[in-house]
Amino acid sequence: MSDVVLLLITGLGLGALYFLVAAGLSLIWGLMRVLNFAHGAFFTVGAYAGWTASTALPSASPWLSWSISLVAGIAAGGVFATLTEVVLIRPLYARPVGQVLVTVGVSLCALALVEGTYGNDPKQILLPDALTGTTTILGAAITNARLLVIFAAALVLVLLLLFLSRTRYGLIVRAGVENRAMVEALGIDVQRAFTLVFAIGGMAAGLGGVLAGAYYGTIDPSRGTSMLIFAFIVTVIGGLGSIGGSAVAAVLVGVLQQFLNFYAAAGVGDFAVVALLAVVLLVRPGGIAGSAPT
């Protein structure tokens, strides 16, 4: 029993990280039809910005230090994403493939710079004692950091849903995902919504980067790439453009992966996730939330 609870919560935590990356990817795809390969780089840059901030500003309180890294990660992800959209994606609106290619270039450059600056070896993350401690749930000792990751992702999900349903820009984004041509025809400035979606997606990914540091205890330059790939899978399974679908798919993927990696063999879970993707595509090409193929 305690194994099951442990795996379930670890899987939920992993799903939470996937969701933080997938949410932005899905919105960016839904609104702009851009496959953003740089999203993994937003995650990585967020993680390293957090680490740099907390080591450069040593503070007496570990909580304060970690909070600084959280803010720095979110800010770095957001700024990086906004710059990417404004400087590189915007000039290429007439060339959708060019947009994808440019994000590939951004991803290559950013990763190379991170590797050059920080090296390939993992960096330890210093966490407040409260986060490295454990809480016992139904007989399973769960690291508090993992619970925090789940809580943070749930909060982001709620905030995103509120943003989409309650704010003017949220409504524009949602309408744009449904029918971009119509929104443009109504004379609404979709441009600003594009930038906003990138900024939000980048902030979520940056937050994901810092939280992944808490979840794993270390950060390294290559994690962003594997996060990105699983986040892609999550967005396709969840239905491209749907935040709710992404959340459901993220949990499904994270939990499935953990259980199979534990009960079958390491790697089987990762493999099964790809198989799940293939099955979903064969049975329901639009993903969980979609009805028609895109």
Query: Given the rule CB under 8 A, which residues bind another protein?
Result: 29, 33, 35, 37, 88, 91-92, 95, 97-98, 100-102, 104-109, 111-113, 115-117, 225-226, 229, 232-233, 235-236, 240, 265-267, 270-271, 274-275, 277-278, 281-282, 285, 293-294
Q: How far is the CB of 191 from another protein (least distance, A)?
A: 19
Q: Contact, 69 vs 210, CB < 8 A?
A: yes
Interatomic CA distance for residues 225 and 218, integer angstroms: 16
Closer residue to another protein, CB minimum distance, 135 or 294: 294
Q: Give 217 or 290: the residue with its C-beta nearer to another protein.
A: 290
- 123-124 and 140-143 strand pairing: unpaired
Considering the complex, state which of residue 216 and residue 271 has its C-beta at the smaller distance from another protein: 271
State whether residue 141 is helix, strand or coil: strand
**Size of the chain in residues:** 294
Parallel/antiparallel/unpaired status of strands 134-137 and 123-124: unpaired
Q: Which is nearer to another protein, 57 or 108 (CB)?
A: 108
Closer to another protein by Cβ: residue 116 or 139:
116
The distance of closest approach from Cβ of residue 3 to another protein in the complex, given in angstroms and rounded to an integer, is: 22
Minimum CB separation of residue 19 from another protein in Å reads 17
CA–CA distance, 149 with 41 (Å, rounded to integer) = 20
Place of tokens 């800010």: 75
d(Cα 157, Cα 19) in Å, to the nearest integer? Answer: 9
Q: Whole-number minimum distance, CB 281 to another protein, in Å?
A: 6
